[in-house]
Chains A and B, each alone.
Chain A
């Protein structure tokens, strides 16, 4: 299971970042289930409930033996996964933060470079 930034699903919304589908393609082809975090412009009043329901899922999958990973993007606030809010909710529930990988624009130079930086983390 991968909890990932909206950017990796909808890169066309992020004008200053590479318009790359490589992360989505890789996760899709590797058979990962995706939990997509809400985009940055999500109304503030909606965020706590989104975060809470995301942590509910992390907790449920974790309790049932799934590996849950976080995948963020460095140049987006909160790594695009609302990391501060996510950590706060996890801590409140005394849960560990799942393994986190953050990518940078330089990781998108080629499909190979993206694949290389994801392979170690996701395998």
Chain B
């Protein structure tokens, strides 16, 4: 960005990141890939001059840290959507503030997540239910948004705020590869 006098001014940028990118303790037990911060991802975003805002973790706030891992179909119910909508309202308040201040806003979700997936979410087919005895191999990654991101998008749409340019780090994908994901994120941030 240039001012009228021609001097350069850094562009104002903010990244809304999935909660667990700063706090792996929020993950379902045994699904954390790092102790706390997902350093390669967060440091890359910071290095590009983005402020970091942490999205709420709807699963942690709904089912706690001892929850089972689950799928989009199971979370796709009125109660969970209502919960996500309540989080979306105060999150959208903050996004709206940055929007009004003309920040470039991006959103980095968690691809493969039933809640925080942006490009990909996790599904069960056939529908599961009852006693959890599913194998991780039965968790299928399919194109689509998670429930939380879906509800956040709806809230932004209601306010006339464009959904941010968004991507996801596929940490909930069984074949997740950090090097590949960082390269992909680098390309996203450069695009």
Q: Beyond the given A35-B23, A60-B64, could you list 16 further A-B residue pairs with CB under 8 A, ordered by the A residue number?
A: A10-B52, A13-B51, A21-B46, A32-B36, A32-B37, A34-B37, A35-B54, A36-B53, A42-B93, A46-B90, A53-B61, A53-B87, A60-B65, A64-B64, A64-B66, A66-B25
Among B37, B60, B64, B89, point to the contact of A28 (Cβ < 8 A): B37
Q: From A42, which residue of chain B is reached at the shortest CB distance?
A: B94
**22 A-B interface contacts by CB (under 8 A):** A27-B36, A28-B39, A28-B42, A28-B43, A31-B36, A33-B23, A33-B24, A33-B26, A33-B37, A34-B22, A34-B23, A34-B54, A36-B22, A38-B53, A38-B94, A42-B97, A45-B90, A49-B90, A53-B56, A53-B61, A61-B25, A61-B65
A42 CB contacts on chain B under 8 angstroms: 93-94, 97
Q: Which of A13, A30, A43, A53 contacts B93 (CB 8 A)?
A: A43
B186 within 8 A of A: no
**Which 3 pairs from chain A and chain B are nearest by CB?**
A31-B35, A46-B93, A33-B23
Cα A63 to Cα B80 in complex, Å, equals: 23
**Across the two chains, which residue of chain A brings its CB closest to B24?**
A33
What distance in Å separates the Cβ of A110 from its nearest Cβ neighbour in chain B?
Answer: 21
Q: Which residue of A lies closest to B20 (CB)?
A: A33
Interface size on A, residues (CB 8 A): 30
Indicate if the CB atoms of B26 and A45 lie closer than 8 Å. no
Q: A1-B23, A36-B22 are in contact. Are A57 and B60 (CB under 8 A)?
A: yes
User: Which residues on the B side are within 8 Å of A30 (C-beta)?
Assistant: 36
Chain A residues with CB under 8 Å of B42's CB are 28
| B125 → A minimal CB distance (Å) | 31
Q: Known contacts A43-B97, A60-B64: does B90 contact A36 (CB below 8 Å)?
A: no
- A9 near B25 (CB under 8 angstroms)? no
Chain B residues in 8 Å Cβ range of A56: 61
B:26-83 near A, CB below 8 Å: 26, 34-37, 39, 42-43, 46, 51-54, 56, 60-61, 64-66
Cβ contact within 8 Å between A33 and B64: no
A63–B87 Cα gap in the complex (Å)? Answer: 22
Determine how close the nearest CB of chain A comes to the CB of B103; give it in whole angstroms. Answer: 11
A41-B51 Cα distance, complex, nearest whole Å: 14
Interface members, chain A 72-105 (any B CB < 8 Å): none
* Interface membership of A12, Cβ < 8 A: yes
**A34→B90 CA distance, assembly (Å):** 19
Quick one: closest A residue to B97, CB to CB?
A43
Kindly list chain A residues whose C-beta atoms are within 8 Å of the C-beta of B26. 33
Give complex CA distance A10, B15 in Å. 11
B22 touches A33 (CB 8 A): yes
Residues of chain A within 8 A of B54, CB atoms compared:
34-36
Instruction: With CB as the reference atom, state the residue of chain B lying closest to A36.
Output: B54
Contacts of A121 in B (CB 8 A): none
Within A6-62, which residues are at the interface with B (CB < 8 Å)?
A: 9-10, 12-13, 21, 27-28, 30-36, 38, 41-43, 45-46, 49-50, 53, 56-57, 60-61
